């Protein structure tokens, strides 16, 4: 794996579909400690055992090492391998790649009903 050059300053992308995407040189992947190239905070919530809706965010990241082979995140890794940093000259290209990654991330959202059904089946001893 080719080392990915660090960027000199955080890059904030325009909001896409109401979601903020950031690229920061100061973060490390919690899985492998490699550089985080981009992060996405998406609204996340659930109903707790008291029936109260809990709302928060979950964060998705693009890791220079872990996500190189991912169909949606890999092109972002390649972008930062080729370009030293996001700039006015290439920000449009990066925005397209981030947009595709956001769309893929949204499509991968957890099917909470399926998780609940599987948990109930587990507790019934069916799994």
Residues forming the site for Zn ion (CB under 5 A): 29, 31-32, 34, 63, 65-66
CA angle 107, 58, 26 (to 5 degrees): 110
d(CA 108, CA 112): 12
d(CA 91, CA 79): 10
Minimal distance in Å, beta carbon 64 to Zn ion? Answer: 7
Nearer CB in complex with Zn ion: 10/30: 30
d(CA 72, CA 83): 18
Minimal distance in Å, beta carbon 68 to Zn ion? Answer: 9
Nearer CB in complex with Zn ion: 32/117: 32
Minimal distance in Å, beta carbon 79 to Zn ion? Answer: 17
> What is the DSSP secondary structure assignment for residue 35, as one 8-state letter?
B
Minimal distance in Å, beta carbon 28 to Zn ion? Answer: 8
Helix 74-82 vs helix 91-107: angle between axes, to the nearest 10 degrees? 160
Nearer CB in complex with Zn ion: 33/118: 33
Nearer CB in complex with Zn ion: 58/112: 58
């Amino acid at each position: 794996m080719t080392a990915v050059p660090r960027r000199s300053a955080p890059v904030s992308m325009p909001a896409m579909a109401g979601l903020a995407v950031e690229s920061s040189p100061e973060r490390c992947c919690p899985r492998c400690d490699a550089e985080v190239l981009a992060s996405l905070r998406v609204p996340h919530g659930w109903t707790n055992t008291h029936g109260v809706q809990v709302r928060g965010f979950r964060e998705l990241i693009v890791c220079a090492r872990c996500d190189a082979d991912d169909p949606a995140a890999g092109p972002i890794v390649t972008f930062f391998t080729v370009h030293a940093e996001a700039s006015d000259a290439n920000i449009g290209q990066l925005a397209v790649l981030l947009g595709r990654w956001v769309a893929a991330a949204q499509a991968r959202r957890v099917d909470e009903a399926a998780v609940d059904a599987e948990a109930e089946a587990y507790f019934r001893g069916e799994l």
